């Protein structure tokens, strides 16, 4: 199938860029001597994950148990569910483990730890649990120096649970945009997570795994002493937020949305496209960064970025393309009705989630359909 046959809007993956991104991250972590466990929530796509594993990835990270189920059915056994566990989801986790999935789950509270212990004892199941620690105040996790860390560890071990290790995510790394700042937050993530592991071991509790990761910190780390594995996700496609952070060029971004110009408002300098927020998502992540790309950056059909044009507005099925900084009253001549464009997204995870599948485009223009997984 050629790209010219695709209906619009359609999510495209540039296979050449995808493979370059995979190789870049894998080479970085091989150089630093750690295992790489990619976070697959970005693409939720078997074909992409097969490319990551072929390059050297070992195991995967997921954000929903539905992802875990679907990737296990696709043949991947070593899975971390990197979201805090609640009691109501334990039967779903148990079903996966009973099928043979080597599923690891996460706790960052005594309540969660006790629920896992109680359920495991009733079901005769020895869950493997990792404790999430907070390394930057971004979202969740136990404070590294808090006695709660040890209390959770003891509760798990004394309750017959396997304490697999500690896990952290420096989500605040998305807020920086200089190499110096990224190196600093990467070292903070590393050192605090290693410190948490050292505290557990000093309390005679096991901590074999020290797992950290975000795309900015993984690509910026200068050493990873004490870390056993890294998790990162959006690197595989990249997006405009990551470009603004400073870890990729626009030419590295592998995901775009193919769209068609369907009308104009010439006095306003608008071209109307058939990709609204249902195709791009409502994510405006670049709005808080140094450069705001609206709902996405406009590129030509062959993928060449048109730096002065963005999707400045979006309704459900309509997008508005306009020039940044001035009104282009000749926009109808520049982008006639029927012109096909690609829109580079702010947030690859959110844009991908709007589509049932990707169209993987090779250098010769041929396109292959790669389905996505859905659900919780």
Helices (DSSP H) in 262-328: which residue ranges? 277-280
- Give the tens place of pLDDT for each residue, 325-368: 999 999 999 999 999 999 999 999 999 999 999 999 999 989 99
Residue 272 maps to a domain: yes
DSSP 168-185: ---GGGGG--SHHHHHHH
- Give the tens place of pLDDT for each residue, 226-261: 999 999 999 999 999 999 999 999 999 999 999 999
Query: What percent helix, strand, coil does the chain show, rounded to 5?
Result: 40, 25, 35
Q: Report the helix count and the strand count for the chain, using DSSP H and E.
A: 12, 18
Percent of the residues in the chain that have a pLDDT greater than 90, as a whole number? 97
Residue 244 maps to a domain: no
Domain end call among 209, 236, 263: 236
Report how far residue 109's alpha carbon sits from residue 304's, in angstroms, rounded to the nearest whole number. 48
What pLDDT was estimated at residue 282? Answer: 97
Please check whether residue 129 is in contact with residue 156, taking contact to mean a CB–CB distance below 8 angstroms.
yes
129: CATH:
3.20.20.10
Q: Is the pLDDT of residue 1 over 90?
A: no
Domain end call among 181, 204, 236: 236
Both 265 and 210 in one domain: the answer is no
Residue 169 maps to a domain: yes
At a CB cut-off of 8 Å and minimum separation 6, what does 180 contact? none
254: CATH:
2.40.37.20
Domain end call among 206, 236, 266: 236
Both 70 and 187 in one domain: the answer is yes
Residue 7 maps to a domain: no
Comparing C-alpha atoms, which of 195, 192, 205 is closest to residue 151?
205
Comparing C-alpha atoms, which of 56, 6, 10 is closest to residue 255?
10
In sequence order, the β-bridge partners of residue 102 are 78
Residue 6 maps to a domain: no
Residue-number span of the structural domain to which 314 is assigned: 250-371
- Work out how many domains the chain is built from and give that number: 2
Both 198 and 330 in one domain: the answer is no
Both 231 and 305 in one domain: the answer is no
């Amino acid at each position: 199938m050629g790209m010219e046959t695709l209906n619009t809007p359609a999510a495209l993956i540039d296979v050449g860029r995808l493979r370059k991104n995979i190789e870049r991250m894998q080479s970085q972590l091989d150089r630093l001597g750690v295992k790489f466990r990619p976070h697959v929530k970005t693409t939720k796509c078997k074909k992409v994950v097969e490319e990551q594993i072929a390059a050297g990835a070992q195991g995967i990270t997921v954000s929903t148990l539905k992802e875990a189920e679907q990737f296990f059915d696709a043949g991947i056994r070593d899975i971390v569910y990197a979201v805090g566990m609640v009691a109501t989801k334990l039967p779903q986790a148990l079903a996966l483990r009973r099928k043979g999935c080597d599923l690891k789950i996460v706790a960052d509270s005594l309540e969660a730890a006790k629920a896992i212990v109680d359920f495991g004892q009733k079901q005769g199941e020895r869950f493997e649990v990792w404790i999430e620690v907070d390394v930057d105040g971004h979202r969740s996790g136990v404070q590294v120096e808090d006695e709660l860390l040890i209390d959770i560890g003891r509760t798990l071990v004394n309750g017959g649970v396997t304490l697999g290790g500690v896990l952290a995510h420096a989500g605040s790394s998305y807020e920086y945009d200089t190499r110096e700042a990224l190196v600093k937050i990467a070292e903070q993530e590393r050192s605090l997570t290693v410190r948490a592991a050292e505290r557990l071991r000093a309390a005679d509790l096991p901590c074999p795994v020290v797992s950290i990761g975000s795309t900015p910190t993984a690509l910026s780390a200068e050493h990873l002493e004490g870390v056993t594995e890294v998790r990162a996700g959006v690197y595989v496609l990249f997006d405009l937020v990551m470009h603004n952070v400073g870890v990729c060029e626009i030419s590295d971004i592998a995901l775009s949305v193919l769209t068609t110009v369907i009308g104009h408002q010439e006095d306003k300098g608008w071209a109307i496209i058939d990709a609204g927020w249902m195709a791009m998502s409502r994510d405006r992540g670049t709005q808080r960064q140094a450069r705001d790309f609206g709902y996405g950056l406009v590129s030509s059909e062959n993928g060449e970025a048109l730096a002065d044009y963005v999707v400045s507005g979006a309704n459900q099925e309509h997008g508005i393309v306009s020039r940044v900084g001035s009104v282009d009253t000749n926009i109808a001549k520049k982008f006639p009705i029927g012109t096909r464009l690609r829109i580079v997204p702010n947030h690859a995870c959110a844009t991908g989630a709007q589509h049932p599948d990707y169209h993987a485009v090779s250098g010769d223009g041929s396109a292959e359909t790669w389905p996505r997984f859905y659900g919780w």
